[in-house]
Amino acid sequence: MHLMDFIRTEAILSDLKAESARDAVDEMVGALVKAKAISAAERRKVVDAIMKREKKGTTGFGNGVAIPHAKHDGVDGVVGAVARSAAGVEFAALDGQPAHLFFLLLSNPEKPEDHLKAMEHIFRSIKNDNLRRFMCQATTREELVDLLREADEEHG
């Protein structure tokens, strides 16, 4: 599995507009709706599920990265969105710093293996400080896609 196997190109946002955590999640989930990964009717429910998970423990790791995620039976396996925010979003990060880079994951509860693999890939990618830095600096979707593909190639 590669990052670009579950991240939908249409749901890669190089300029996230949202200023609050909930709005940021909503914007990314909206992009997944546009990408037809989930239906428009489910948008609200998915955002609620993700925010509920955030309340139990933030996925804002610090260093400007957050990995909001939730289970959702309306997806096939696992789907992801990626977003970059120039201004940064207050995401209750553990180091108190705003998040600039988001990996949002929705996974089918019947397929926990897919979720684990996707998460392992994201963990591996954000270990690479250069990738993280370049992604935060990217200004177009194409640049972000290139960076993600490079990361995929690096890990075969």
Interface with other proteins by CB under 8 A: which range of 8-16, 22-30, 117-125, 135-143?
117-125
Query: Encoding tokens for residue 16?
Result: 């996230």
- Judged by CB, which is closer to other proteins: 19, or 73? 73
Q: Residue holding tokens 């996230």? A: 16
Closest CA to 71 of 92, 99, 42, 30: 42
Q: Which of 2, 69, 121, 155 is catalytic?
A: 69
Q: What is the DSSP letter of 77?
A: S
Q: Which of 120, 146, 150, 154 binds other proteins (CB under 8 A)?
A: 120
Measure the CA angle with vertex 2, ends 76 and 103; round to 5°.
75
| Long-range CB contact pairs, 152-156, < 8 A, 24+ | 152/2, 152/3, 152/4, 154/128, 155/2, 155/121, 155/124
Interface with other proteins by CB under 8 A: which range of 7-15, 52-60, 75-83, 141-149?
52-60
Q: What is the DSSP letter of 69?
A: E
Between 85 and 114, how does the x/- string for binding to other proteins read (CB under 8 A)? Answer: ---------xx----------------xx-
Q: Is 62 in the site for other proteins (CB under 8 A)?
A: yes
Interface with other proteins by CB under 8 A: which range of 13-21, 55-63, 75-83, 138-146?
55-63
Are β-strands 69-71 and 60-62 bridged in parallel, bridged antiparallel, or unpaired?
A: unpaired
115 a catalytic residue: no
Q: Is 116 in the site for other proteins (CB under 8 A)?
A: yes
**What residues line the site for other proteins (CB under 8 A)?**
53, 56-57, 59, 61-63, 67, 69, 94-95, 112-113, 116, 119-120, 123-124, 126-127
Catalytic residues: 69
